[in-house]
Chains A and B, each alone.
Chain A
């Protein structure tokens, strides 16, 4: 509630006798005026001056003496952090954290430019690793989502460079992302940060699988481990966003199996060693189910339907059909849970998944057998029927602007 709102509405409330003048004063004291934001113009002005200085330096970079170049880099680095501290002390948290982020970026730039200054070639990611360490530490020191997100990207880039250019996997970067940032998220759960961090962890996992030359299905072991962590997270809404990236990956994979599983030519490339792989996956399943039990969310165990290893069956139409059945079962379970928990966004998601699955099934199974016009006619009728059914279902739901009661 803002001061301005109280100023305009408050006297009206007093007039109608809803609150007393003393209570209005109390309300005002409860929501003190925010420190006044810094005007946009001085900031824009400083940015322009900074940019002009930057372009002068960049244009003459190679001609400057080495010591001066090093001094400029370090000066800018220290200046950014000092500025951030100045604005934080003044109560401007946004600007302070922004400058700290700039400091972190300048640290990375300093490492790269200094190595270039001395024509130095490294054979490992020590420099980039130091950057990730700085990012994780700053995330804790500033307690900042911005810095967390920035560090996820720095970690992703460092790992990409390590695997792509140096042909080594930086386990330290992966551990810092998972342990350092993961622990921060665990203690300070947040929806958007969770989704980005989980995506970053999937990227780290994918690069590990690529580096170790494993079958791509192994990707789902670390991916579902990320998912299982969400099952233990007490903050349910944040956990749900955290689990979205692993589920999207699993759903897309199953969808791919439904679309192309028929070819069969590549299915043996998907088949990891039976006992080891299924053992690892079952272990993750146990961790996940234990978490769901502990937090009273056993209903969401149906998510694991997407992990049914259909690729051990021989390819061909039966595999595609089996994948479709699984996809239907999954979207059905999302719809069912949405209705039961009266979560409209879950119902919408389930509907989208249901339609997506139907489209794939339809293309898959009918394209070859049916006349084209009949194909579109049937498709249209199917979608109309579905929307009619869902609308009828929706009418039995209470309006969405009422607070959902049974939502945990």
Chain B
């Protein structure tokens, strides 16, 4: 109990502990920022294709809603013993294609032990389960952009670059427009 000034109201000790605490908080916020840079530096980049979100669905705030091709996958990709359940965390195996973007080839309930060369795993959650397929959520469905510039991006297919760090975090690092004819 000497570690914290548990119940000693001495102002000097309180001030000393507060100083350390505030320093730790600032450090933590800086670490979050550093993690942002580290993910794009050390992470592996995958490119994912999106399809336009329903154009009637107007811009919400200052972000673009992204609907990835890998957000809906056929049920046959499921590799779990049990039936897939809503909200369960999953590991999606991505394979690069000749067209320059990645597609999902398998969905695992736990991190797969071995992967073919070039394949990457992206973590996500099951959003919904249908007879034919699974709807997946990756936490990457929003891209924050300066205000009032998002609407145009939402109406066309995009190629989104995502960095996946070896320690599991991921972030969107870039967004580019795809020519309309390469879309489905």
Q: Hey, which bits of chain A sit against chain B, CB under 8 A?
A: 61-63, 70, 73-74, 77-78, 81, 85, 88-89, 103, 107, 110-111, 114-123, 127, 130, 134, 137-138, 140-143, 165-168, 187-188
Please state if A119 and B138 are interface contacts (CB–CB under 8 Å). no
The B contact surface, by secondary structure, is mixed
Please, which residue of chain B has its CB at the minimum distance from the CB of A88? B11
Considering the chains assembled together, what is the distance between the CA atoms of A117 and B125 in angstroms? Answer: 23
Task: Assess whether A121 is in contact with B4, with CB atoms less than 8 Å apart.
Answer: no
A-B contact pairs, 27 of them (CB 8 A): A77-B25, A77-B29, A81-B18, A85-B15, A111-B28, A115-B32, A117-B36, A119-B171, A119-B172, A119-B173, A120-B32, A121-B140, A122-B139, A122-B168, A122-B169, A123-B168, A130-B28, A134-B21, A134-B25, A137-B4, A140-B5, A140-B6, A141-B4, A141-B14, A141-B21, A167-B88, A168-B89
Contacting A74 at CB < 8 Å: which of B9, B29, B37, B169? B29
- A141 and B36 contacting across the interface, CB-CB below 8 Å: no
A111 touches B170 (CB 8 A): no
Least CB distance, A168 to chain B, in whole angstroms = 7
Q: Are B33 and A114 in contact (CB under 8 A)?
A: yes
- The CA-CA distance from A110 to B27 in the complex, in Å, is 11
**Given contacts A85-B15, A140-B6, A141-B14, are A166 and B89 in contact (CB under 8 A)?**
yes
* Contact of B17 with A by CB under 8 A: yes
Q: Tell whether, in the assembled complex, residue B33 and residue A119 are in contact, meaning their CB atoms are under 8 Å apart.
A: no
Report the separation of the CA atoms of residues A348 and B65 in the bound assembly, to the nearest whole angstrom: 56
Chain A binding surface, main DSSP class: helix
Specify the chain A residue showing the minimal Cβ separation from B22: A81
Q: In the complex the two chains form, is A119's CB within 8 Å of B144's CB?
A: yes
The 8 Å CB contact of A141, one of B17, B140, B147, B171, is: B17
What are the interface flags for B164-178 relative to A under an 8 Å C-beta threshold, 1 for contact and 0 otherwise? Answer: 000011111100000
The answer on a CB contact under 8 Å between B36 and A118 is: yes
How far is it, in angstroms, between the C-alpha of A142 and the C-alpha of B140 when the chains are bound? 39
Kindly report which residue of chain B lies nearest to residue A75, judged by CB atoms: B26
A167 touches B62 (CB 8 A): no
Complex contacts, A85 vs chain B, CB 8 Å: 15, 18
